[in-house]
A and B are shown apart, each in its own frame.
Chain A
Amino acid sequence: MTTVVSARTSTMAQALNAALRDAMQADPTVHVLGEDVGRLGGVFRITDGLTAEFGPDRCLDTPLAEAGILGTAVGMAMYGLRPVVEMQFDAFAYPALEQLFSHVAKMRNRTAGKLPLPITVRVPYGGGIGGVEHHSDSSEAYYVQTPGLHVVTPATVADAYGLLREAIASDDPVVFLEPKRLYWGKAEWDPSATVEPIGRAVLRRTGRSAVLVTYGPSLPVCLEAAEAAKAEGWDLAVLDLRSLVPFDEETACEIVRSVGRAVVVHEATGFAGPGAEIAARLTEKCFHHLAAPVLRVTGFDIPYPAPMLEHHHLPGVDRILDAVARLQWEE
């Protein structure tokens, strides 16, 4: 097989755009719909040029109504299309939650497999962009609590492309969480290279002292923390989960067992957040290999703060290193 497209350098936003374009080219049943996705190309430009290239039927500017958008996508999927829905912002996906929870997540199950819904719901999420209220939520806990949904979140440019292609190809609904603050980060990546599938975690950095278990917008923070930790004499591994559902317990347990210490890091609020589930599972499955309780570094249990205060809320390098310091190093 010859590689037609070679490595390129782009932002995550451009990689997502390429994924949509390539998916639409490869499969005429892929339809994009959402608010401002047409002429404008979406407020983050993820759908830039799609209407021009594929026409307004394939990339549709809808009326402003999130439940209507997702509900319409359900009907389209029932008729054999593969809709990709854009929710403009995390907190503006909430009007669509009833459709998501009561229908999208359940349709396969309530029809005993007769009516799977291959819908991708793209949600730009998370903080760190100086957004005002309702533009910075980390709403993943709501989604991972709902059986029937896959919950995927890329943290690298290559994954943004690869995981979105996979999400669109999936016969199950996927909530595809795009870390807003990573949209504009550039990296070299190869569109023809395959990435690990949805459901596999990837070790982004090996280490022998402890492992930081993370995903999405917190990956770069964890990698930075691991760098800084060297000065303290800690050699930290960093595990990128890539999907919260399915949760790659096997890979996570393997690394936690081998290093014996773990910190789960995410932006979402801590109380009953994804970290609570992950820490509980790692403790249940790796108890005899643990030298310390699994700790969590998360957003505070507060409504997302005003932009000038958000840096106090978001898990940063220092807070991660403080947690690592509490992993009972004294023998």
Chain B
Amino acid sequence: MTVLDHRHQTAAVPGWQPGATGPRTDPAPLLPDDSPVRVLGTPALEKTDPALLRELYRRLVVGRRYNQQATVLTKQGRLAVYPATTGQEACEVAAAMALQEQDWLFPSYRDTLAVVARGVDPLEALTLLRGNAHTGYDPRATRTAPLSTPLATQAPHAVGLAHAARLAGDPVVALAMLGDGGTSEGDFHEALNFAAVLNAPVVFLVQNNGYAISVPLTQQSAAPSLAHKAVGYGMPGRLVDGNDAPAVHAVLTEAFERARSGGGPTLVEALTYRVEAHTNADDATRYRQDDEVAAWREHDPILLMERHLRPLGILDDTLVQEAADEAEALAARMRAEFHAEPELDPMSLFAHVYAEPTPQLREQAAQLAAELAAEAEVHH
């Protein structure tokens, strides 16, 4: 037996305190359940507020139309690129709905629907992907961080913000959204560890949609589930059916409440599926079979709602029609707004590099201004 063998805690080492270096938390309550949390088709549905269910349904339908319209806009050259969340709308919508006004959202590049569902205008949410600026909305005013393209790098930001809010005594929760591939990044691990150590009011929502571009989950992780990763950091991991909107909403709401009341962070893994290719520029037939996609289309978040809410009378033709109308109205607005040419100011290139431009930037700005003036001259 050596002093390093902490399972045999009788070693006579000066200052050795059994337990101080051993497990500090009972891992059992932190472990995710074997099967994902579901509400649709379970007794929990009866206990769920019908108004919430209707609202979730309405937003799912609008979200689906948003995804379709954004994809069309890429074909028309109105968006530079679009990573769709078709099939993942339940996660996007439920996340936005579970957040309170004062909470912060830290989205990844794929999560524009969550940003829109939070109330940001699609034109502003899609600015990055349209290509006219990096961020189209005011992060402070909307409490929504810029879309993060470098994978998982937004996770520690969420931790830091939640930590700062807690120090200030504000009842603010931060939600970091990630993909399954993002869980392999170092920043993900560092964020989880910091969150647990700081007891920060932050929730990590991993949408396990099966693929990171072309790489399936089996090549991404050998963990029993991504939710299990939480246990190693000392926080609970929760597994939820990511296509069951009320289930995602319930699990997130519970995690937010826990965080808000000082209970610390939670890692939520939502099982879902990326029905479309990675982006409009990707060819998914190179790495997956059509029957796999077909099976998931049967487990579609909107279909599931219709299947389970119709018999209860929570969903009826009126609501279906209302949702469809609202979805069409959004699509029409997107078409109109995105067909108008954006106003671009080349001089803005230099405006926000620093609070005050350096002498070198002033010189370069003058150079561009002169080039623009000369160009304008030629055009006249």
Contacts and interface: CB of A to CB of B under 8 A. Distances in A.
A186 interface: no
B293 interface: no
B163 A63 contact: no
Contact of A247 (B150, B168, B172, B360): B360
Contacts of B153: 71, 98-99, 102-103
A131 interface: no
A57 interface: yes
Given A109-B352, A250-B359, A78 B146 contact: no
A62 interface: yes
Contact of A67 (B104, B156, B168, B174): B156
Given A68-B191, A107-B146, A199-B358, A112 B351 contact: yes
B197 interface: yes
Contact of A71 (B140, B159, B354): B159
Interface in A97-149: 98-99, 102-103, 106-116, 147-148
A246 B359 contact: yes
B155 interface: yes
Interface residues of A, number: 48
A79 B186 CA distance: 24
A112 B348 contact: yes
B194 A78 contact: no
A150 interface: yes
Given A71-B187, A108-B353, A108-B354, A80 B194 contact: no
Interface in B331-380: 348, 351-355, 358-360
Contact of B161 (A62, A68, A75, A109): A75
Contacts of B146: 107, 110-111, 115
A98 B150 contact: yes
Contacts of B165: 79
A147 B365 CA distance: 14
B163 A72 contact: yes
Contact of B134 (A81, A110, A116, A250): A110
A75 B352 contact: no
B135 A74 contact: no
Contact of B187 (A57, A67, A108, A111): A67
B193 interface: yes
B197 A75 contact: no
Nearest to A81: B164
Given A65-B194, A71-B190, A75-B156, A112 B352 contact: yes
B158 interface: yes
A100 to B, nearest CB: 11
A95 interface: yes
A65 B193 CA distance: 9
A75 B163 contact: yes
Interface in A143-179: 147-148, 150, 170-172
B160 A73 contact: yes
Interface in B262-314: none
A45 B90 CA distance: 51
Contacts of B323: none
A170 B355 CA distance: 9
Interface in A286-315: none
A249 interface: yes
B145 interface: yes
A76 interface: yes
A24 interface: no
A79 B355 contact: no
A32 interface: no
Contacts of A106: 134
A67 B160 contact: no
A172 B355 CA distance: 7
B351 A71 contact: no
A148 to B, nearest CB: 6
Given A72-B163, A78-B161, 6 more contacts: A65-B190, A71-B153, A72-B194, A74-B157, A115-B146, A249-B359
List the 5 closest A-B pairs by CB distance, nearest first. A75-B160, A71-B156, A68-B190, A110-B134, A75-B161
Interface of A: 57, 62-63, 65, 67-68, 70-81, 83, 95, 98-99, 102-103, 106-116, 147-148, 150, 170-172, 199, 245-250
